[in-house]
Amino acid sequence: MLQTVARPVFFKSTDNGATFASVSSSNPFTSPCDIIAMWDSSDVLYIGDDGADIYKSSNNGTNWTLVKPNSSSEVPSNV
């Protein structure tokens, strides 16, 4: 289970939402609006930023990489 708050701090739960712990407070995104957790790999996460950038984490949100910068209004079909 994942949760975001108004400030770009990423929280993670490993007990079905009973408790949450901060994963990282130095995220590159400013306004996360969409979160995708890959069903076949619990370590891989994607976040869509309000500025239309897409970021990927391969370690449960500890580190993030920009995979699709806001270069146009196109919708990405394959990340």
Residue 78 lies inside a defined structural domain of this protein: no
Answer yes or no: is 76 within a domain: no
Q: Has residue 74 been placed in a domain?
A: no
> How many beta carbons lie within 10 A of that of residue 2, not counting itself?
17
Residues of the domain holding 19? 2-68
Sheet of 45-49, strand order: 32-37, 45-49, 54-57, 65-68
Confidence of residue 73 (pLDDT cuts 50, 70, 90): low
- Whether 37 is covered by a domain: the verdict is yes
Q: Report the chain's mean pLDDT, rounded to a whole number.
A: 75
Q: How many domains does the chain have?
A: 1
> What is the pLDDT averaged over residues 48-54?
81
Asked if the structure places residue 16 within a domain, the reply is: yes
The verdict on residue 79 lying in a domain is no
Least confident of 11-15, 53-57, 69-73: 69-73
Rounded to an integer, the average pLDDT of 13-31 is 80
Q: Domain for residue 26, yes or no?
A: yes
Residue 79 has a pLDDT of 53
